[in-house]
Amino acid sequence: MTFKLALKVRDYECDLQGIVNNGVYFNYLEHARHEFLLENGVDFAKLAEDRINLVVIRAEMDFKDSLKPGDAFYVEVEPTRLSKLKFGFKQRVIRTQDNKLMLDALIIGTSVNEKGRPFLPIEVDKLFIA
């Protein structure tokens, strides 16, 4: 299952070169993951209140081209199981006007309980396919 979230580049996200700053892409990807979770009945904030924390342990990002101010784009999120306690989000940023791939990423995460030990709650576990 692939989730898509439509967004638009805001001027303040760009650097002196007039392109989206590389660090901003982390925000785009994170926002799309949180929206994916909400869409699938998992409230990231509620998990944190319950002392269950979803954490990123690795991020692989391949920048293909640069978004510019005003560009409309969407972020794809595809969940994937990596191991018993690790999950991945295959994510792509695609410019809407020409469907051009701008960023290809794999974000790897896990979940830890209140003691900091890896633990995958059922509501999160069911989202990831092998």
Q: Pairing mode, if any, of strands 53-63 and 72-81? A: unpaired
Please list the pLDDT of the chain residue by residue as tens digits (130 residues). 799 999 999 999 999 999 999 999 999 999 999 999 999 999 988 999 999 999 999 999 999 999 999 999 999 999 999 999 999 999 999 999 999 999 999 999 999 998 989 988 888 888 986 5
| pTM value surpassing 0.85 | yes
CA distance 107 to 39: 19
Using the CB atoms, write b or e for 80-118: b if 16+ within 10 Å.
Answer: eeeeeebbbbebbbbbeeeeeebbbbbbbbbbbeeeeee
Q: For residues 43 and 33, give the distance between their C-alpha atoms in angstroms, rounded to a whole number.
A: 11
Can you name the CATH fold of 3-125? Thiol Ester Dehydrase; Chain A (3.10.129)
Q: Give the residue extent of every domain in the chain.
A: 3-125
Residue 61 and residue 20: Cα distance in Å, rounded? 15
